[in-house]
Amino acid sequence: MRPPVLNPLFAAVSALPGIGPRFEKLFARLLDRDDGPPRLIDLLFHLPTGFVDRRNQPKLSAVKPDTVVTVAVTIEKHRPPPPNRPRAPYNIEASDETNTLTITYFNARKDYLQKLLPVGSQRYVSGIASFYDGHLQMVHPDRVVDAAGFAKLPLLDPVYPMTEGLHPNLLRKAIDLALERLPALPEWQDETWRARNDYPSFAEALRALHRPSAPSDIAPESAPWSRLAYDELLASQLALALLRKHMRTRAGRGSAAEGRLRARIISALPYALTPSQQRAVVDIVADLARPQRMLRLLHGDVGSGKTVVALIAAAHVIEAGRQAAVMAPTEILARQHFATIAPLAAKAGIRPAILTGRERGRAREDILAALAAGDIDLIVGTHALFQENVAFRDLALAIIDEQHRFGVHQRLALTRKGQAVDLLVLTATPIPRTLVLTFFGDMDISELREKPAGRQKVDTRAVPLDRLNEVIDGVARALDEGRRVYWVCPLVEESATVDLAAAEARYKALQKRFGKSVELVHGRMRGPDKDRAMERFGKGETRLLVATTVIEVGVDVPEASIMVIEHAERFGLAQLHQLRGRIGRGAAKSTCILLYRGPLGPTATARLKILRETDDGFRIAEEDLKLRGEGDVLGTRQSGMPGLRIARIDLHGKLLTAARDDATLILSRDPKLKSPRGEALLNLLYVFGRDEAIGLVRAG
């Protein structure tokens, strides 16, 4: 049960005056609340990205064009649009003793504007002033107030990320009302730490950010912001420490095996395991043999051989007479894993099967019956494996691929399908050390640093889009030589608002030139159609595959040796590296063309430069973190992973070690969080949405 003191923070935004069902939907979109109504705490954590400085109050003659100013003017005259031209602007003439100003509105109501700006009155008007036809003009001012209103107006007015249909004034009003309802909470930070960093209290920090008294208050490096960032990191680290303690203290079941099946798989491989694969296998097998639960993250570069290590781990528990499951985030990736695993499993005498949303009817029933009876040793699937009607005879090992796309809370869901299930998490994105601590701090870590033998270095070139025809001519020559080509586009269909080449448009254009040798794959296609298209490309029946980023992970066609990435400046660094990893897998020399539209900004320039310089995924991951931030690196912006809303790893990463040490020390002294600070920390877990961990405290 949530402590009653927190109830005001968890009240719905719709409880505030003036916010009905229509506005509640807009707030839900703005505050990224898919799983319930938006709450006051979500509103308070919606922090400003800048501010309007109303301390700049010049006379009209001294206004610098295209700057935000606040001016005191007398309203002279209203000039509404003619009756036959309702779309024309509504202009209001105003002046001070030095110059005149035209205040302009579009689609405005006459009665509203006459009440807001009555002729003969003095008004304080704030917004961007610019020159139009030689006259000073302000279009749709942010604020229009009389002298009494101006006295109450904040001179530093925060600017927030917005959503269409929601007016900034309504958001500001809602935040002001939420601040008034902030309860007094017991301090959960260590007082010595707080004093050393000169941090305000939780409530004072929120007030300083939403009602700044100086521009420096809103900076992410400021004491108020850093205070909240540390709170969030502490909540994250405390939850991970509780999860780790819970998993470690619950009895495990060691799986004993001599290693016969492992040896069969290793001998069936067409290459030797790399040194880091060998180390990972040793560590995992040791974990599986212990009576404690395994919690291990296996991360490595594109094509570093995670699937093979996972299969060897599965072989260990299968030899012990138990079962293993591999769960992937997409059907295309699940089927790719199955294609890699099935032939090796057959040579080792392992019985594999696949279960996705596509398996239906009798076929599905047969798979479920065989799984429950123990006639399937290894099941590969999507989130379909989570479903209630999926039962195992004796699940020993859950292998979760691309874990960050599932969300941390699902880490335990598959492991509940058996007794004391061991967990191995895979990701094809090398993860920077700070992010490993942030999101996987409850796990032991194995890294795959080397690429398998036979991997080619890919020649990477950046080419401006105005040389598109030259690139297409180069593709034509490659196709004439019998080579296979990926052409990657960022969108599925033309967008009216974003000028990007869409996959469908590019497919049609290339089809005109190359005919039936061109194939299209994108995320909105039905699974069977996608698989057939990939199969035709894999067999060489088609040789030019136009695709969206659906091919980013798991697609393995060694004969493909050329990749064109259109609008490369729109992709993240790690994603470009992932895409590039689809080539360089065979004997042929491989080339990646990064087609970009100039002029490039500094971030895009840095991104393309790094990609040309290195193919080291660990270095690329670190650079990507510097350029973009943790949510993008892990893919969490899109996937809804409960990541960080306030802390920014690039700026607050130095606080992470302190938060981790603090969490470890707290639990060593007060494992049940029963002390006054322990009780305060339970509030912290609720406030930052880590309350699932509280059940683990209660469970012991």
Q: Report yes or no: 323 and 379 within 8 Å, Cβ to Cβ.
A: yes
- Average pLDDT of every residue of the chain: 87
Cis amide linkage into residue 599, ω under 30° from 0:
yes
Exposure string for 383-392, b = 16+ CB within 10 A, e = fewer: bbbeeeebeb
Q: Read off the pLDDT of each residue in 375-383 and give the average, rounded to a whole number.
A: 94
CA angle centred on 47, ends 43 and 51, rounded to 5°: 125
Burial class (CB in 10 A: 0-12, 13-18, 19+), 91: middle
Is the pLDDT reported for residue 386 higher than 90?
Answer: no
Is the pLDDT reported for residue 600 higher than 70?
Answer: yes
Range from 291-300, 611-620, 640-649 carrying the lowest mean pLDDT: 640-649
Q: 124 pairs with which residues across the strands? A: 72, 145
Enter the tokens of residue 223: 């004491």
Residue 501: the pLDDT is: 54
Residue 578: the pLDDT is: 84
16-56: pLDDT as tens digits: 998 988 899 999 999 988 778 999 999 999 999 888 888 87
Residue 251: the pLDDT is: 66
The CA distance from 324 to 315, in Å, is 8
Enter the tokens of residue 528: 């069977």
Is the pLDDT reported for residue 80 higher than 50?
Answer: yes
Q: Read off the pLDDT of each residue in 615-631 and give the average, rounded to a whole number.
A: 75
Q: Read off the pLDDT of each residue in 581-605 and give the average, rounded to a whole number.
A: 89
412: confidence class by pLDDT, cuts 50, 70, 90: low
685: confidence class by pLDDT, cuts 50, 70, 90: very high
Range from 233-242, 453-462, 475-484 carrying the lowest mean pLDDT: 453-462
Q: Report yes or no: 427 and 225 within 8 Å, Cβ to Cβ.
A: no
220-250: pLDDT as tens digits: 999 999 999 999 999 988 988 887 777 666 6
Compute the half-sphere exposure of residue 401: CA atoms within 13 Å on the CB side of its CA: 29
- CA 224 from centroid of its chain's CA atoms: 25
Q: 354 pairs with which residues across the strands? A: 380
320: confidence class by pLDDT, cuts 50, 70, 90: very high
Q: Which residue has the higher pLDDT, 649 or 299?
A: 299
Residue 691: the pLDDT is: 82
Q: Read off the pLDDT of each residue in 576-598 and give the average, rounded to a whole number.
A: 89
The CA distance from 146 to 620, in Å, is 55
State the amino acid at position 164 in one-letter form: E
Residue 300 DSSP code = E
- CA 80 from centroid of its chain's CA atoms: 47
431: confidence class by pLDDT, cuts 50, 70, 90: confident
Q: Read off the pLDDT of each residue in 194-208 and give the average, rounded to a whole number.
A: 97
Residue 145: the pLDDT is: 94
Residue 698: the pLDDT is: 60
192: confidence class by pLDDT, cuts 50, 70, 90: very high
Range from 186-200, 294-308, 434-448 carrying the lowest mean pLDDT: 434-448
Residue 394: the pLDDT is: 95
User: Could you give all domains of the chain from N- to C-terminal order, each with its CATH number?
Assistant: 4-50+176-219 (no CATH), 55-153 (2.40.50.140), 260-448 (3.40.50.300), 459-614 (3.40.50.300)
